[in-house]
Amino acid sequence: MVSLSTLFRYIGSRLEYATAVSSKSYKQGQISDTQVLDTVWKNFFQGKLTYLHWNKGEEMAPTIGAQGGTLLVRKLPAPDPTRVFVGDVVVLKDPVNSDNYLVRRLAAIEGYEMVSTDEKDEPFVLEKDQCWVVADNENVKPKQEANDSRSFGPVSMSNIVGRVMYCLRTAVDHGPVNNSHFSTRKDSAILEFELDVDEMAKNHKA
């Protein structure tokens, strides 16, 4: 039985999502002033706050198995430092190939000073709207195999489309993804309402 507080937090998350989507449409000139409220309510009642994403590759092992994992992803229509946090596992548009999506861990956001272990690299500070993403797997070569910010540099926060909340590696090996403390709390009510392990297993490709 879901508690009232969880229900209210889920409703709050839906309202926050609906407002963010509507605000984005308004700023892009897709809707007028008079359509904003109607659009908020339409987005509030429409669809889920999550989607399933298949990821394969050893870059995020052991968080996601090298053989692949079905991920439950929370949609993030307006990613910024108040909605996504350092330590979160995120889905982002590949900055090298915009047709692809990468799953990486958010390691730093705007204002962070980046200092390389390679003395030839000059330290620098991430600018507004920039972030730094890295692979979890420490056994892959950073600049050759990890395919993260160590090879392609800073990424725009707007490239982030979602936060991974849950990973199904196999039908018997699945669980929540280790994200920041803030996101774990923000996402808990959504997990209560929208996690369906049977559906994830049914869509699993491995």
Active-site residue, selected from the candidate residues 59, 74, 163, 169 = 59
Q: Which letter does DSSP use for residue 136 in this model?
A: S
H or E segment to which residue 69 belongs: strand 69-75
- What is the Cα–Cα distance from 193 to 17, expressed in whole angstroms? 15
83 annotated active-site: no
- What is the Cα–Cα distance from 24 to 123, expressed in whole angstroms? 34
Active-site residue, selected from the candidate residues 9, 14, 83, 104 = 104
Instruction: Report residue 93 as tokens.
Output: 């548009």
Q: Which letter does DSSP use for residue 98 in this model?
A: T
74 annotated active-site: no
Per DSSP, what are the bridge partners of residue 58? none
Cα distances from 194 to residues 40, 51, 92, 97, 139, in angstroms, run 20, 9, 21, 30, 34
Give 73-76 contacts, CB < 8 A, sequence gap 24+. 73/161, 73/162, 73/163, 73/164, 73/165, 74/49, 74/50, 74/162, 74/163, 74/165, 74/187, 74/190, 75/17, 75/49, 75/50, 75/51, 75/161, 75/162, 76/160, 76/161, 76/162, 76/163
Q: Which residues are catalytic?
A: 59, 104
